[in-house]
A = this chain, B = another copy of it.
Amino acid sequence: MDKSKQYKIFSDPIHGFITVPKGIILKLIDHAYIQRLRRIRQLGLGYLVFPAAEHSRFSHAIGALELGQRVLKNLREKDTTISEAELNGTLIAILLHDVGHGPLSHTLEHSLIRDFNHEMMSLRIMQELNTEFDGALETAIRIFTDRYPKKFLHQLISSQLDIDRLDYLKRDSFFTGVSEGSVGINRILKTMRVFKGNVVIEKKGIYAIENYILSRRLMYMQVYLHKTVLSADSLLKQIFRRVHFLWKHDKLPPIPSHSLRYFLTERPSARKQITSEMLNHYMRLDDHDVYISIKSWSEAEDAILADLSTRFLNRKLFKTTFTSKKEQKKLLGDFRDRTSRELKRAGLPHDDDSVSFYLDADESFSEAYKYETESIWILDDDDKAIEFSKAADTKHIIALTKPVVKPYLVHMKEII
Contacts and interface: CB of A to CB of B under 8 A. Distances in A.
A398 B4 CA distance: 29
A286 B289 CA distance: 13
A288 B295 contact: yes
Interface string A216-233: 001001100000000000
The 4 tightest CB contacts between A and B, nearest first, are: A396-B399, A11-B177, A180-B211, A256-B256
A84 interface: no
Given A16-B186, A211-B214, A218-B210, A35 B193 contact: no
A180 B207 contact: yes
Contact of A32 (B48, B207, B286, B313): B313
A288 B176 CA distance: 23
Contacts of A286: 291
B193 A207 contact: no
A289 B292 CA distance: 6
A16 B211 contact: no
A341 interface: no
Interface stretch (A55-63, A138-146, A323-331): A55-63
B175 A13 contact: yes
A12 interface: yes
A117 interface: no
Contacts of A222: 207
A52 interface: yes
Contacts of A268: none
B292 A12 contact: no
Interface residues of A, number: 79
A168 B130 CA distance: 42
Given A3-B79, A13-B175, A176-B11, A296 B211 contact: no
A393 interface: yes
A208 interface: yes
B180 A52 contact: no
Contacts of A13: 52, 174-177
B54 A54 contact: yes
A251 interface: no
A314 B179 CA distance: 35
Given A52-B59, A179-B182, A291 B39 contact: yes
Nearest to A173: B13
A97 to B, nearest CB: 17
A9 B77 CA distance: 14
Contacts of A54: 38, 54-56, 59
